Amino acid sequence: MIELKSVSKSYQMGDDTIHALDGVDLVVKDGDFLAITGPSGSGKSTLANIIGGLDEPDGGKVLVNEQDISKLDDKTLSNYRNHEIGFVFQTFNLQPTYTALENVMIPLIFAGISSAERKKRAAECLKAVGLADRMAHLPSQLSGGQRQRVCIARALANNPKVIIADEPTGNLDSKKGEEIVGILKELNRQGKITIIVITHDPSVARQAHRVINIKDGRIS
């Protein structure tokens, strides 16, 4: 379970203070499928990054299984980021010179897993997203929807409990977007993975168990 208690984050831009998050309280239970919607600039990515331990709040707390993550030492925090959470971004961030299989193997290198085991695990993850027949393709040889599926496979590599997807369908047409949401839904239903999806798209949000709307850094 992930719990945010009056989480705030601001940025100083010259004389202006931007309150990206302004006292956010949120509980995400294990197995939840939560959608976060809201206008551009409302604080959605800031929230996603704080939940995932990529960014730190300057006020309030993030508790993961009742542990305050700001109190974790570097090693435990990086373990949380790499093993508990899988990230999927709007812009795919794939390595262009690596095949789909090699891209999915990257997080496993950092986890110190042997080469044979990495290949096996990466292939399983690509199978889970329906790309068994595209493992040797480079990102440039894949469609946008297929690239995003590689990203989901990469996020799955370390067996995370939670997937945070920040506008995963933002660069896709609606049919491809639906496929991506279908995969997330299946991972939630069958794999019992908690899904947090940030989206502008009402048809994506409709698939979630729960939708929260954020405006000017507050849950509305």
Ligand X SMILES: Nc1ncnc2c1ncn2[C@@H]1O[C@H](COP(=O)(O)OP(=O)(O)O)[C@@H](O)[C@H]1O
* Of 193, 194, 197, nearest in space to 180 by CA: 197
Q: Does 1 bind ligand X (CB under 6 A)?
A: no
**Residue 11 main-chain phi, psi, to 5 deg:** -125, 135
Which one of ligand X, Mg ion, none is in contact with 41 (Cβ closer than 5 to 8 A by kind)?
ligand X
Which one of Mg ion, ligand X, none is in contact with 146 (Cβ closer than 5 to 8 A by kind)?
none
- Each residue 6-35 as x (binds ligand X by CB under 6 A) or -, in order, gives -----x-x----x-x---------------
Helices 100-110 and 144-156: angle between axes, nearest 10 degrees:
20
Which one of Mg ion, ligand X, none is in contact with 139 (Cβ closer than 5 to 8 A by kind)?
none
Q: What is the per-residue DSSP string for 23-89?
A: EEEEEE-TT-EEEEE--TTSSHHHHHHHHTTSS--SEEEEEETTEEGGGS-HHHHHHIIIIIEEEEE
* Of 14, 46, 32, nearest in space to 217 by CA: 46
| Stretch 45-84 residues interacting with ligand X (CB under 6 A) | 45-46
Shortest spacing between CB 214 and ligand X, in angstroms: 7
Among 2, 4, 34, 42, binds ligand X (CB under 6 A): 42
Rank residues 9 and 44 by Cβ distance to Mg ion and give the closer one: 44
Stretch that binds Mg ion, among 30-38, 45-53, 70-78, 147-155 (CB under 5 A): 45-53
Shortest spacing between CB 166 and Mg ion, in angstroms: 6
Residue 147: other Cβ atoms inside 10 A: 23
Among 37, 42, 45, 207, binds Mg ion (CB under 5 A): 45
Stretch that binds Mg ion, among 41-49, 120-128, 202-210, 212-220 (CB under 5 A): 41-49
- Residue 159 C-beta-side C-alpha neighbours within 13 Å: 4
Which sign does the torsion angle of CA 137, 138, 141, 145 carry?
Answer: positive
- Residues binding Mg ion (CB under 5 A): 44-45
